[in-house]
């Protein structure tokens, strides 16, 4: 199997700017914006606890939408938003990897959620540790592992595999395609670095934060769409090879 980079990019972009993709971008943008406001609220709370704090310092800060937030309260809401974010990812993968046109179904956001949450946590923890160790070992092993385990969420969310099975399946599907997958990642990273630089021109005010959230959402949905596209193309090619044997 050899992944076609242009086909993957084309199919991933089509997913991203489909009706389902646009709705996902909106959902992710809202979650990203709220999360950033909570993070800013925690930062403001921390500043106000300092002995050197003066009212004059407050006037120099950008006031978060929700004001100062206690870290424990903020953490609780961030964890809740993370759970909602997983539901959005579930809906995205299931919408993009389907026989028909991209379409969001309410069941796609919640079906088998508890089981998926547990296995995503276990697999995500294993993946994070492996990639962290890989980057410590001269960086290259980290990129190798990152690309090799790229399809782990798909096998859990769409194929219903447990964490260990999904990690093994992702490794097998990425085999022989790690270089094109890495190239796609580099190209998308370059695009979003440029877009991120442009969004910084709008400053840290409300408009700038909204634009930043939209760009972050676009990046997140495009990532899901590209992984879904690569998965579909590789699975289709694998099934074609098996049919001819």
Q: Is residue 24 part of a domain?
A: yes
Number of domains in the chain: 1
Mean pLDDT of all residues in 79-83: 95
Q: Is residue 92 part of a domain?
A: yes
Band of pLDDT at residue 243, cut at 50, 70 and 90? low
pLDDT of residue 91: 95
Best CA proximity match to 189, nearest among 152, 226, 153? 226
Please state the three-class secondary structure of the chain as a single string: CCCCHHHHHHHHHHHHCCHHHHHHHHHHHHHHHHHHHHHHHHHHHHHHCCCCCCHHHHHHCCCCCCCCCCHHHHHHHHHHHHHHHHHHHHHHHHHHCCCCCCCCCHHHHCCCHHHHHHHHHHHHHHHHHHHHHHHHCCCHHHHHHHHHCCCHHHHHHCCCCCHHHHHHHHHHHHCCCHHHHHHHHHHHHHHHHHHHHHHHCCCCCHHHHHHHHHHHHHHHHHHHHHHHHHHHHHHHHHHHHHHHC
Q: Is residue 222 part of a domain?
A: yes
pLDDT for residue 183 is more than 60: yes
Residue with tokens 């022989």: 176
Residue with tokens 């809202």: 30
Whole-number average pLDDT of the chain = 88
**pLDDT tens digits along 99-147:** 777 788 889 999 999 999 999 999 999 999 988 888 887 777 788 888 8
Q: Is residue 203 part of a domain?
A: yes
**pLDDT tens digits along 148-161:** 999 999 999 999 99
Residues whose CB is less than 8 angstroms from the CB of residue 191 and which lie 6 or more positions away in sequence, other chains included: none
Q: Is residue 244 part of a domain?
A: no
Q: Is residue 242 part of a domain?
A: no
Torsion over CA of 40, 202, 26 and 15, rounded to 10 degrees?
A: -130
pLDDT of residue 61: 64
Residues whose CB is less than 8 angstroms from the CB of residue 99 and which lie 6 or more positions away in sequence, other chains included: none
Name the maximum alpha-carbon separation found in the chain. Answer: 75
Residues 83, 63: Cα–Cα separation, whole Å: 26
Q: Is residue 245 part of a domain?
A: no
pLDDT for residue 173 is more than 80: yes
Mean pLDDT of all residues in 168-172: 94
pTM of the predicted structure, to 2 decimals: 0.87
Best CA proximity match to 109, nearest among 98, 124, 93? 93
Q: Percentage of the chain with pLDDT > 90?
A: 56
Query: Domain of 76?
Result: 5-236
Q: Is residue 117 part of a domain?
A: yes
Residues whose CB is less than 8 angstroms from the CB of residue 41 and which lie 6 or more positions away in sequence, other chains included: 64, 65, 66, 67, 68, 69, 74
Residue with the larger pLDDT of the pair 56 and 12: 12
Band of pLDDT at residue 81, cut at 50, 70 and 90? very high
């Amino acid at each position: 199997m050899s992944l076609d980079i242009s086909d993957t990019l084309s199919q991933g972009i089509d997913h991203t700017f489909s009706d389902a993709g646009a709705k996902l971008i909106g959902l992710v943008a809202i979650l990203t914006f709220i999360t950033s406001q909570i993070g800013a609220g925690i930062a403001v709370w921390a500043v106000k606890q300092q002995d050197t704090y003066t009212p004059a310092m407050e006037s120099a800060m950008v006031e978060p939408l929700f004001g100062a937030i206690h870290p424990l309260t903020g953490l609780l809401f961030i964890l809740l938003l993370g759970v909602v974010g997983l539901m959005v990812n579930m809906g995205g993968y299931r919408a993009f990897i389907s026989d028909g046109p991209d379409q969001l179904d309410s069941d796609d956001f919640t079906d088998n959620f508890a089981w998926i949450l547990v296995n995503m946590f276990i697999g995500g923890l294993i993946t994070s540790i492996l990639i962290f160790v890989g980057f410590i070992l001269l960086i290259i092993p980290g990129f190798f592992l990152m690309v090799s385990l790229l399809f782990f969420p798909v096998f859990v969310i769409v194929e219903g595999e447990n964490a260990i099975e999904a990690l093994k399946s992702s490794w097998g599907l990425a085999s022989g395609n790690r270089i094109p997958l890495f190239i796609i990642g580099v190209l998308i990273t370059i695009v979003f670095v440029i877009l991120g630089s442009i969004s910084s021109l709008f400053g840290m005010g409300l408009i700038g934060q909204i634009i930043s959230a939209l760009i972050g959402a676009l990046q997140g949905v495009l990532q899901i769409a590209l992984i879904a596209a690569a998965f579909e193309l590789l699975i289709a090619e694998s099934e074609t090879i098996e049919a001819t044997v």
